[in-house]
Amino acid sequence: MFPLRDDNPHFLTPYVTYGIIVLNLLVWAVVQGFGTPAALLNSLCTLGLIPGELLGTLPAGYTTQLGAGLVCVLEGRPAWHTLLTSMFLHGGWMHILSNMWFLWIFGNNVEDSMGHLRFAAFYLLCGLAAAALQMLANPASGVPMVGASGAIGGVMGAYVLLYPRVNVHMLIFLGFFVTTIAVPAYWMLGYWFLVQLLGGFGSLGREGGGVAFWAHVGGFVAGAALLPLFRNPALVARHPYHGWSQGSSGPSWRRLR
């Protein structure tokens, strides 16, 4: 399943959401060279978050083979800046495009509920919480962790509490048959969270790279937990489909504008 759009209007221009997307794309282009092997792998070693290095569970000189002949060699001192820089790096074209698409769909309405500055702080805190849970799950990992998906998981955790019954239009692949359906946000995002949770338990004790499932879980839970501190009730009240009591949205929402 892949989300196409939601039936949820927004009232503020989502400058922070746009800015985060642009910043991620700029980093992908300028720092990571559009995914060319040398630039991509060098960025993972120098700017990616390596749990074993940050927590001091791996010795100086420890090496991690990333492919294409590139080896990450740990310097033996915590690289605290990677907690932030890793949120704006990606491992490939599909990684960055899917992350930015999810942020495009869900970010504007969450920003609409908080205002610009609150949303920016909320996004970064969710990213930090995501990194923290992933490190807790595998503190001795020497594999660089990168991606915006932990912070975006926080956006989705807030979205499902703010607008649980808004319709999300999904693209469904059933073998060679492709169709679209509209499901409530709580169904789509609840399914997404369950997949991450199952993937997280399945990854425990596993070595090597892969999907940072626990980062997704940590971001989602942090987003839901932080929402009461960051939402602006006056901004939320403007939405015709906030909360459970507002009923389900439909394709006719445009008439409300």
In this prediction, residue 43 carries a pLDDT of: 92
In tens digits, what is the pLDDT along the chain, a chain of 257 residues?
A: 789 999 999 999 999 999 999 999 999 999 999 999 889 988 998 899 999 989 988 888 788 877 666 778 888 777 899 999 999 999 999 999 999 999 999 999 999 999 999 999 999 999 999 999 999 999 988 889 999 999 999 999 999 999 999 999 999 888 788 889 999 999 999 999 999 999 998 877 666 567 899 999 999 999 999 999 999 999 999 988 888 866 555 544 333 33
In this prediction, residue 253 carries a pLDDT of: 39
3-state secondary structure 155-208: HHHHHHHHCCCCEEEEEEEECCEEEEEEEEHHHHHHHHHHHHHHHHHHHCCCCC
In this prediction, residue 205 carries a pLDDT of: 65
Report how many domains make up the chain.
1
Task: For residue 66, report the phi and psi dihedrals to the nearest 5 degrees.
Answer: -100, -10
pLDDT, tens only, 39-56: 998 899 889 999 998 998
| Residue type at position 166 | V
63 near 75, Cβ under 8 Å?
A: no
In this prediction, residue 63 carries a pLDDT of: 81
Q: Which domain holds residue 118?
A: 2-256
In this prediction, residue 13 carries a pLDDT of: 96
In this prediction, residue 203 carries a pLDDT of: 78
In this prediction, residue 256 carries a pLDDT of: 34
State the CATH number of the domain containing residue 187. Answer: 1.20.1540.10
Task: For residue 141, report the phi and psi dihedrals to the nearest 5 degrees.
Answer: -75, 140
